[in-house]
Amino acid sequence: MKKLSVLFAAAMMVVSVGMAKAQKIATLDVIGVLNAMPEKKKADADLKTFLDTKQGEIKKKADAGQAKLKQYSEEAPKKTAEENKAREAELAKMQEEIQQMNDKAQKDFVAKQDAAYEPIEKKLNDAVSKVAKASGYDYIMDANSSAFVFKAGPDATAAVKKELGIQ
């Protein structure tokens, strides 16, 4: 039994020495790097243009609906019940079309955003991997994360920006 406890103690010492090996950890300002990438700036501008165009189309349709609503409201006392009911149905259909346009615009925007950002994220991840391997980092963590309790390790932001060719 004594040999077993000595063997266990020796095994624990070996494991603890292996675990005590210092991990090389660095932080990275992911948002700062992304915002400095020209590809991201272009993608953001393209997405804003796309969104502005879609919102303009929806606003135009909504304004037309508001004009009809105003017109129909003013003319309602002079029209028959059947005409007013048909007009209400027309306005409801316009409202539904506007909602469908809005839903489609949101789906299209998300798809366009995913397609635009995917190559940017891949490029960033490749650069981070290359810097981590070159610098011997075991981990690179996002400096913007609130999960950090203490940040004192090296900062890999400059190296990743250099790898991407941005300032």
Q: What is the DSSP string of 104-119?
A: HHHHHHHHHHHHHHHH
Q: Is residue 7 part of a domain?
A: no
CATH number at residue 155: 3.30.910.20
| Domain extent at residue 33 | 13-164
Is residue 107 one of the residues assigned to a domain?
A: yes
DSSP-derived letter for residue 80 is: -
pTM score above 0.75: no
In a domain, 8, yes or no: no
How many other C-beta atoms can be found within 10 angstroms of the C-beta atom of residue 52?
10
Mean pLDDT of 57-77: 92
27 inside domain: yes
CB atoms within 10 A of CB 20: 7
| Residue 39 neighbours by CB under 8 Å, 6+ apart | 119, 120, 123
| Cβ atoms < 10 Å from Cβ of 5 | 9
Give the model confidence (pLDDT) of 37-62 as tens digits. 999 999 999 999 999 999 999 999 99
Mean pLDDT value across the chain: 85
Is 155 within the bounds of a domain? yes
71 in a domain, yes or no? yes
Tokens 């019940």 identify what position?
Answer: 81
Residue 61 lies in a domain: yes
In the predicted structure, residue 142 carries a pLDDT above the cut 80: yes
Q: How many domains does the chain have?
A: 1
Whether 4 maps to a domain, the answer reads no
Question: Do 64 and 98 meet the contact criterion of CB atoms below 8 Å apart?
Answer: no
